[in-house]
Amino acid sequence: MCGRFAQATALEKLRELTEISHQLHLPARYNIAPSSQVAIVRQSHNGQLECTSMKWGLVPHWARDDAIGHKLINAKMETLLEKPSFRGPFRYRRCAIPVDGFYEWTTENKAKQPWFIRMDNDQPMLLAGLWDLWETPEQNLESFTIITRPADSQIQPIHSRMPVLLKMNELSVWLSRENQKPDSLFPIMESTPTLISYKVNTLVNSPRNDDKTLIEPLYEGKTFKLI
């Protein structure tokens, strides 16, 4: 699964690489947990890429209440066409979440050890996601989920699953409202960019902690690159 990530510099870096309308300014976050408001990128109705803020934890448009969002922070790639919560958004409401990296945990001496995983070229990491709009007389809520897949050889030593990572040159194709054919979307979700992973401070274990030191290597000057 993907249950925690950092979103500090990724959005600004993405703006330098592509044109995005609707400038959104959120504070730098280094330990984002589910239910948070997060910057995401999608295609607007006029065909441009736009950045907006959504709640992490998908609330389908047909849901009776928004509590279901706590269970839908991730969507398995293998069952996107089977689950009622994801079928429609997969065809019509895809998004990307620009992040600096994400966290996963291993167990060492019966304790949870966090790892930070990021791109090896310092570019923003683009997580594939789905979004939906839940409307009630009281509120309109836009929310999203992160798509996950079986871990590749880089992540397997840490966790059995990983978020689907998008290539920069395939971002527009992924977000296109006109592209509604699953057969053309699944190959995009098989991208395996080179990643760097290293242990970080266990302060990450509490989402109440949120500062830049959380993404720094636990052992100064030494990182662990997984092959």
Strand order, beta sheet including 101-108:
29-32, 5-7, 101-108, 111-119, 195-199
Instruction: Identify whether 51 is a catalytic site residue.
Output: no
Q: Which of 172, 200, 198, 201 is nearest to 185 (CA)?
A: 172
Q: Which of 175, 160, 193, 206 is nearest to 48 (CA)?
A: 175
- The answer to whether residues 25 and 80 touch, using CB atoms and an 8 Å cutoff, is no
3 state DSSP class of 183 = helix
- The answer to whether residues 18 and 171 touch, using CB atoms and an 8 Å cutoff, is yes
Rounded to whole angstroms, the Cα distance separating 220 from 131 reads 38
Q: Which of 2, 51, 95, 142 is catalytic?
A: 2
Question: Exposure string (b/e) for 107-122, b if CB count within 10 Å is 16 or more?
Answer: eeeeeebbbbbbbeee
Q: Which of 51, 95, 104, 142 is catalytic?
A: 104
Structure tokens at 113: 């050890």
Q: Which residues face 98 on adjacent strands?
A: 126
- The answer to whether residues 137 and 70 touch, using CB atoms and an 8 Å cutoff, is no
The residues annotated with a catalytic role in the active site are 2, 104
